[in-house]
Amino acid sequence: MAFENNDRVIVVDHPMVQHKLAILRDKTTSSKQFRELVRELAMFEAYEATRDLPLEEVVVETPVAEATCSIIKGRKMAIVPILRAGLGMVEGVLDLIPAARVGHLGMYRDEETHIPHEYYAKMPEDIAERDVLVVDPMLATGGSLVAAIEYLRKQGVKNLKLMVLVAAPEGVKTVLEADPDVVLYTCAVDERLNDAAYIVPGLGDAGDRIFGTK
């Protein structure tokens, strides 16, 4: 199903991204390649998610003459992966934003109820002053991301963006309704959830495929 881009849901439809996503979905893709692809896709997505960073002018001396250039106006950023699968996206975002701090939020979905349980949280001290990118490859029911948004808002975070690789329409609706200001980046919005709350067609269990646990 094609999903229309809007102000709050940005589907990164670049041909390189869609090509890599196709390989990521393939059940025969190895754990090693899966990890590499998650990292690469996270970097491409972070490129889109940082498109609105403010710039300032500086003068640089080239070997030929002075050039008026633009650099990013000192902005404090943080990446917050939702454990486990979100860890797979961190290095890709750091490739693009090496100065970002990293907070960790541990959450797992109960297999029966699909309700997320938080088991760990460790944030940079000044998280409230940072622009935060929450990363998790999968947005299914939206329970995990809604819990992450609620946690970060309580910490005082104002500028919050979500980065996932594959989303279900049900989850997209849930996170947008849960927070009026949050913006979501995804490489695809799939058809639906199945009875086990897995994304169809999706790519299976992202955490298991990244860490080879199944």
Report the catalytic residues.
Answer: 109, 113, 205, 208
**What are the b/e assignments for 170-193, b being 16+ CB within 10 Å?**
ebbebbbebbeebbbbbbbbbeeb
- Out of ligand PRP, ligand URA, none, what residue 134 binds, judged by CB under 5 to 8 A for its kind, is none
Mask: binding to ligand PRP, 68-87, rule CB under 6 A, as x and -? --------------x-xx--
Complex with ligand URA: residue 40 or 205, whichever CB lies closer: 205
Mask: binding to ligand URA, 172-201, rule CB under 6 A, as x and -? --------------------------xx--
For residues 129, 156, 207, 120, the Cα torsion angle rounded to the nearest 10 degrees is 110
The 10 Å Cβ neighbour count of residue 42 is 29
Q: Which residues, other chains included, contact 195 with Cβ-Cβ below 8 Å and sequence gap of 6+?
A: none
Residue 10 φ/ψ, nearest 5 degrees: -110, 115
97-126 binders of ligand PRP (CB under 6 A) = 107-109, 114, 116
Q: Can you read off the two tokens belonging to residue 186?
A: 């995804």
**The one among 45, 136, 179, 190 contacting ligand PRP by CB under 6 A:** 136
Q: Are strands 160-163 and 131-135 parallel, antiparallel or unpaired?
A: parallel
**The one among 79, 93, 140, 183 contacting ligand PRP by CB under 6 A:** 140
- Binding stretches for ligand PRP (CB under 6 A): 82, 84-85, 107-109, 114, 116, 136-144, 171, 197, 206-207
